[in-house]
Amino acid sequence: MEYSVKSGNPEKQRTACIVLGVFEPRKLTATAEQFDKITDGFISNILRRGDLEGKLGQVLLLHNVPNTLSDRVLLIGCGKERELGDTQYQKIISKAVQTLNDTGSMEAVCFLTELNVKGRDSQWKVKHAVETSEGTLYNFDQLKSKASSARRPLRKIIFNVPTRRELSEGEEAIKQGISIAQGVSTTKDLMNLPGNICTPTYIAERAFKLADDNKKVTTSVIDEDEMKEMGMGAFISVSQGSDEPGKLITIEYKGGEEDAKPIVLVGKGITFDTGGISLKPGAAMDEMKFDMGGAASVFGATQAVIEMGLPVNLITVIAAAENMPSAKASRPGDVVTSMSGQTIEILNTDAEGRLVLCDALTYVDKFDPDVVIDVATLTGAVIVALGHKASGIMSNHNPLAHDLLNAGEQAADRAWRLPIWDEYQEQLDSNFADMSNLGGSAAGSITAACFLSRFTKKYQWAHIDIAGTAWNKGKNKGGTGKPVPLLTQYIINRVVNS
């Protein structure tokens, strides 16, 4: 899709469709009112007849509207004017884009970016209009024998901003919006691909492709033999049960000063999590193909940063492995030695995420990181704590935690912090090793993070548990692309504020 910004009057637009908002109850938005005058009250007459109340997400498509240059006018219900926040705005844009795509307008001029959204400026509204449009039109049909494409799909949207002064900001917003949206789509694709296709080897190939088209990007992969030599006994203990070879993938993007310390992202990339010998129950086990959501999201965010060419050094490390039961798999009770030298008693082979991550987190210390942020579908417990609306953040550094929470708020990709106080650490005590990989049923997300914190003492670190936010269940089953917007916004902010 093509996007642009413009600052013009609705009645002067020569286009396939112009999109205007109507509040509840039957109240025209400022632009719609201006347009109504030119059309001799055509719109207000229709509202008076009761065809559109203005409820959030209602639509009415009009043809042959007098005194206009556009083929169609699409009215979108915006709900109560005073209740217009992020979620409502996204619903409005999404409904508009879906309707345009379904009804044959290949191009449109959209005035919904002029709506007042609580606490948001023009730049935000344009950027999120792009992200929401791409999110709405996303579909994953690459594994179907016939693609389900619209007959006359929407090709181009022009978003209107109130004044010409907002045009250059708007253009910047479009660039950012497209890069983030593409990062989100890549993340969704990687997540939606099943475990028999999206293997650790496949993710490694995709990482090499990222480096192919860009001189500033280098990809390297550490295989299991090298991991063994490096002492990554925790990672190997997960991967050893599978016939798919595990990979530790590093993508290095040098966009900043030569000597600037890198931001390091680490992603949990379990391409399928059966639980191992501590086998998971069968119901909905297919969803465990999404257990590489952390890896997919750091991959997508990295792609967005590269695409925007941000002046920052970014290193992304993906711990990719499959967790399978087999004769070679780890048993409950096995004790392994991590790369840090600390020993771990594996009391539950289904707590595998922390095992691959702890070695990856020890490994990244060699990059002398500015900060390290790991992202993982780590615990079912974070769903109990926060549901599917916010990711869980745990950190050993307050300013980093705050920056991430703020970035999430800005990006409408929210997170909430949980504590990792020392008092929780004793839940990881083991009779036979330095620690157990199991913290018991209380505060499961926190004890998982406490486990990781034993490997991240040397640098500023945050952990984002996305088990509740990375995918949708049910009819809309599929990756959400979270927390790509949060991560990307954090990095954008770092560049702007440095």
Instruction: Enumerate binding residues for Mn ion (CB under 5 A).
Output: 273, 350, 352
Check binding of 352 to ligand BES (CB under 6 A): yes
User: Which residues, 6+ apart, have CB-to-CB distance to 464 below 8 Å?
Assistant: 294, 373, 374, 375, 376, 391, 392, 393, 404, 415, 483, 486
CB of 376 to Zn ion, least distance (A): 8
CB 315 within 8 A of CB 252: yes
- Shorter beta-carbon distance to Zn ion: residue 291 or 403: 291
Check binding of 244 to Zn ion (CB under 5 A): no
CB of 461 to Mn ion, least distance (A): 22
Is omega for the bond preceding 153 within 30 degrees of 0, making it cis? no
User: Which residues, 6+ apart, have CB-to-CB distance to 252 below 8 Å?
Assistant: 217, 218, 219, 220, 262, 314, 315, 316
- The DSSP line for 125-160 is HHHHHHHHHHHHH----TTSSS----SS---EEEEE
Under rule CB under 6 A, which residues in 383-442 are in contact with ligand BES?
Answer: 438
Check binding of 25 to ligand BES (CB under 6 A): no
Under rule CB under 6 A, which residues in 283-342 are in contact with ligand BES?
Answer: 291
Is omega for the bond preceding 369 within 30 degrees of 0, making it cis? no
CB 174 within 8 A of CB 130: yes
CB of 91 to ligand BES, least distance (A): 26
- Shorter beta-carbon distance to ligand BES: residue 390 or 467: 467
Check binding of 291 to Zn ion (CB under 5 A): yes
CB of 323 to Mn ion, least distance (A): 6
How far is Cα 125 from Cα 77, in angstroms, rounded to an integer?
Answer: 17
Check binding of 379 to ligand BES (CB under 6 A): yes
Check binding of 380 to ligand BES (CB under 6 A): yes
Please compute Rg for the chain using Cα positions.
25
Tell me the two tokens of residue 217: 């990007």
Active site residue 120: no
Residue 131 partner contact from Zn ion, ligand BES, Mn ion, none using kind-dependent CB cut-offs of 5 to 8 Å: none
CB 349 within 8 A of CB 275: yes
- Which residue in the set 17, 317, 394, 467 belongs to the binding site for ligand BES (CB under 6 A)? 467
Candidates 428, 376, 136; CA nearest to 238 is 376
Check binding of 353 to ligand BES (CB under 6 A): yes
What is the identity of the amino acid at 362? T
Check binding of 381 to ligand BES (CB under 6 A): yes
Residue nearest to Mn ion (CB): 350
- Shorter beta-carbon distance to ligand BES: residue 104 or 332: 332
Q: If you search the block for the tokens 């504020």, which residue do you land on?
A: 497
* Binding track, positions 50-89, relative to ligand BES; x by CB under 6 A: ----------------------------------------
Check binding of 465 to ligand BES (CB under 6 A): no
Q: Is 125 exposed, middle or buried (0-12, 13-18, 19+ CB in 10 A)?
A: buried
CB of 471 to ligand BES, least distance (A): 8
Active site residue 280: yes
Catalytic-labelled residue, pool 127, 268, 354, 414: 354
Candidates 98, 44, 100; CA nearest to 70 is 100
CB of 285 to Mn ion, least distance (A): 11
How far is Cα 498 from Cα 484, in angstroms, rounded to an integer?
Answer: 21
Which residues contribute to the site for ligand BES (CB under 6 A)?
A: 273, 291, 348, 350-353, 377-381, 438, 444, 467
Which residues contribute to the site for Zn ion (CB under 5 A)?
A: 270, 273, 291, 353
Catalytic center residues: 280, 354
